[in-house]
Chain A
Amino acid sequence: MSEIEDKIDRFSFVERVTHWLAALSFLYAALTGLSLWSHRLYWLAPVFGGGETVQAWHPWGGLLFALTLGYMFRNWAGQMRLDREDRRWLRQAHRYAAHDDSGLPEAGRFNAGQKVLFWVQSVTTLLLLGSGVILWWPHSMTQGLRLTAILVHPVMAIVSIGAIIVHIYMGTAAIPEAFRGMTQGWVRSGWAAAHHPKWFREISKR
């Protein structure tokens, strides 16, 4: 195969822009949020301009992330449905983690782990947005709503950040070349055949 044939488009320009806008706004919202999570992490607040700046801008960062994720949802929700194969894959996820792929169903464009990340982010973001609005205007809310929000917001943030830690690890150190797919937009055909064989066969037929 020639060098040119070897390159396969993985993520379109729009997908990449959306992803990195989401990544940056997430990082900002997560770090500013963590600065207010614990007194021991308050040193993060001066890094982002001080407590008052963090308090004023964290909601906007979160809102930008929610909007970006909403757009991502529109583009990707159709491809993220978990089918029977995916559920079988998830039951064997511990094998995938140990790099033992024998008996693991073949992945399409997104494997079941990526799909789960997508749904986790969709649900947590919706709840973070709802509880975030309550925390944004505490004085216009009832005490019951405020008490709900101070629990829902951090619980969802913990789940969301926990999932993203794994996501960043998978996209950088754990799977070589995956990162280039989300930056330059292409992967080598060998990579596609190895990591997403079902997807590779589909696009090869075209």
Chain B
Amino acid sequence: MSRTPTVAKLIDTTTCIGCKACEVACQEWNDHEFTMSGLGGDYQTQPDLTDSFWNLIKFNEESRDDGQLSWLMAKYQCMHCLDPGCVRACPAPGAIVILDNGIVDFNQDNCIGCGYCITGCPFDVPRLSPQTNKVYKCTLCSDRTVVGLEPACIKACPTNCLTFGTRNDLLEQAESRAQELQADGVTQAGVYNPSGVGGTNVIYVLAQADRPEAYGLPRDPRISWAVWFWKGPLKWLGNVVLLGGVLGTLLHYLRYGPRRYQDVRD
């Protein structure tokens, strides 16, 4: 139906140098306050995403079998799922919208601050602001893409490990990059585009695609069955009970009427 192509972001972790330019660009474009970096003795600026820090390079240091150290860096932000758990869970119409181009965007004007999207998200991305009592996350720069600009993080990336484009193009590009890496001897290289959430519009090329956890990515993210049951069968069950209760009592009244004295014994 839609003539607007679905847009996506490709993150090639094998060419990311962990410079954090994307983090700074995100903070600048979205006009977020300067946040002091933690001094945790590693190469991660913040411990976690916050309501005003939407894009974090996760850092993981591992010692390899050959005794060398391996530094894994992966940009972490909203994955813009094709089947977003946050949308399923949200009770406020219009608070979370899926744009024509596939971007999952929060509209804070309609957000009521219940936090159900936090429960619905399999990636633990939305953050509730204690100040505004609204939820925030990466918008994939919907305010830039709408006028034909690429997202701020991608604009700032110096190694071109971030690419913006249509989903179909980037999936192809990701596959061919993974094959190239495999041909170069990175045998475990692969694409991260988890099917449990219908695929994601943020696509990764991982050098160790067999171990996404090492990059801070869930192995097989899925919308929890609890969320599915809550918004599916349980909703119908509830409607049946409530409507049935009202209609049932009405029918009972029409059939039997009120209890009268003579109805009671003797």
What CA separation (Å) do A158 and B229 show in the bound complex?
A: 15
Whether A174 is near chain B, meaning CB under 8 Å from some CB there, is: yes
B113 touches A55 (CB 8 A): yes
Whether B67 is near chain A, meaning CB under 8 Å from some CB there, is: no
Q: A153 to nearest B CB, angstroms?
A: 9
Q: A26 to nearest B CB, angstroms?
A: 14
Q: A3 to nearest B CB, angstroms?
A: 18
A151 touches B230 (CB 8 A): yes
What CA separation (Å) do A146 and B118 show in the bound complex?
A: 9
Whether A176 is near chain B, meaning CB under 8 Å from some CB there, is: yes
Whether B253 is near chain A, meaning CB under 8 Å from some CB there, is: yes
Whether A70 is near chain B, meaning CB under 8 Å from some CB there, is: no
* Known contacts A39-B91, A139-B118, A146-B118; A175 and B259 CB within 8 A of each other: yes
1/0 per residue, CB under 8 A from B, across A81-110: the answer is 000000000000000011101101010000
A138 touches B118 (CB 8 A): yes
B258 touches A176 (CB 8 A): yes
10 closest A-B pairs by beta carbon, nearest first, are A165-B245, A138-B115, A51-B112, A169-B249, A194-B264, A36-B91, A147-B226, A55-B112, A146-B119, A99-B263
A165 touches B246 (CB 8 A): yes
- Residues B50-79 near A (CB distance < 8 A): none
Q: List residues of chain B with CB within 8 A of the CB of A176.
A: 258-260
Whether B17 is near chain A, meaning CB under 8 Å from some CB there, is: no
Number of residues of chain B lying within 8 A (CB) of chain A: 41
Whether A150 is near chain B, meaning CB under 8 Å from some CB there, is: yes
1/0 per residue, CB under 8 A from B, across A166-200: the answer is 10010001111000000000000011001101000
Whether B133 is near chain A, meaning CB under 8 Å from some CB there, is: yes
Question: What residues make up the interface of A, taking CB atoms closer than 8 Å to B?
Answer: 36-39, 42, 45, 51-52, 54-55, 97-99, 101-102, 104, 106, 135, 138-139, 143, 146-148, 150-151, 154-155, 157-159, 161-162, 165-166, 169, 173-176, 190-191, 194-195, 197
Q: A137 to nearest B CB, angstroms?
A: 9
* Known contacts A99-B259, A147-B227; A166 and B92 CB within 8 A of each other: no
Whether B146 is near chain A, meaning CB under 8 Å from some CB there, is: no
B234 touches A155 (CB 8 A): yes
- Residues B188-242 near A (CB distance < 8 A): 224, 226-227, 229-230, 234-235, 237-239, 241-242
B112 touches A54 (CB 8 A): yes
What CA separation (Å) do A159 and B237 show in the bound complex?
A: 11
Pull 10 A–B residue pairs with CB atoms less than 8 Å apart, ordered by A.
A36-B112, A39-B91, A39-B93, A54-B112, A99-B263, A139-B115, A139-B128, A150-B89, A174-B252, A195-B259
A97 touches B253 (CB 8 A): no
Q: Which residue of A lies closest to B118 (CB)?
A: A138
Q: B133 to nearest A CB, angstroms?
A: 7
B261 touches A37 (CB 8 A): no
* Known contacts A51-B110, A146-B119; A151 and B259 CB within 8 A of each other: no
- Other A-B contacts than A158-B241, A194-B264, 5 sampled, CB-CB below 8 A, are A37-B238, A154-B234, A162-B241, A165-B246, A190-B261
Q: Which residue of A lies closest to B127 (CB)?
A: A139
Q: List residues of chain B with CB within 8 A of the CB of A166.
A: 245, 249
Whether B43 is near chain A, meaning CB under 8 Å from some CB there, is: no
Q: Which residue of A lies closest to B245 (CB)?
A: A165
B245 touches A97 (CB 8 A): no
Q: A106 to nearest B CB, angstroms?
A: 8
